[in-house]
Amino acid sequence: MQRIEFLNYPASGQLPGLLWGIRIDGTDLRAYTADATRDLWRQEHEEESPAENELFLLHQHGGLSLREVGDPVRHFLGDPAPEFADPPTGTTPVLGCSCGVWGCWPLLTIITATPETVIWSSFRQPFRKEWGELPMGPYAFDRPAYEAALAAPVRVTEDPLGSSSETMP
């Protein structure tokens, strides 16, 4: 089983409030997403410098706003508020767009909760249907540990990956 850590960190730039961040086995979920989409993006974009490509990949997503998520227990157990739900696919957003509008570029996953486990599987980017299921996960978590992490998110003072302007060469 994997270990999950939920984080709360301040939004960058002009965006107010705190965001939900996620680490799986100590690695930011956005790093896993960058790895899963690297080759897919190469097919769509002209080559830029390696540093610019990495910066883009790591910051294509941002956390979800605490205010928007509302009830995080329901949301992160796969029963999101109606504005987040996608009944045809049964997916829940776990990351939003780095611009601050979650629906602009969300990372969706199917969250399956049983009394013993919570599993995240079938990660997708809804605006790139041709990408299909991304090569990441499934991630299986012990439900009691998952719920404990969700109930006590780690508060950090900045985006765990740094801001895109701070990481520019």
* 115 within domain boundaries: yes
* 163 within domain boundaries: no
| Cα–Cα distance for residue pair 18/63, rounded to 1 Å | 9
Residue 12 structural domain? 4-155
* 167 within domain boundaries: no
CA atoms within 13 A on the CB side of 116: 1
**What is the pTM assigned to this prediction?**
0.90
- Local structure of 56: helix, strand or coil: helix
CB proximity list for 117: less than 8 A, separation 6 or greater: 1, 140, 141, 142, 143
**1-52: pLDDT as tens digits:** 999 999 999 987 666 789 999 999 999 999 999 999 999 988 877 667 888 8
DSSP class of residue 17 equals S
- Per the structure, the count of domains in the chain is 1
* 160 within domain boundaries: no
* 169 within domain boundaries: no
Q: What is the pLDDT of residue 156?
A: 93
**100-122: pLDDT as tens digits:** 888 999 999 999 999 999 999 99
Q: What is the pLDDT of residue 114?
A: 97
* 165 within domain boundaries: no
* 166 within domain boundaries: no
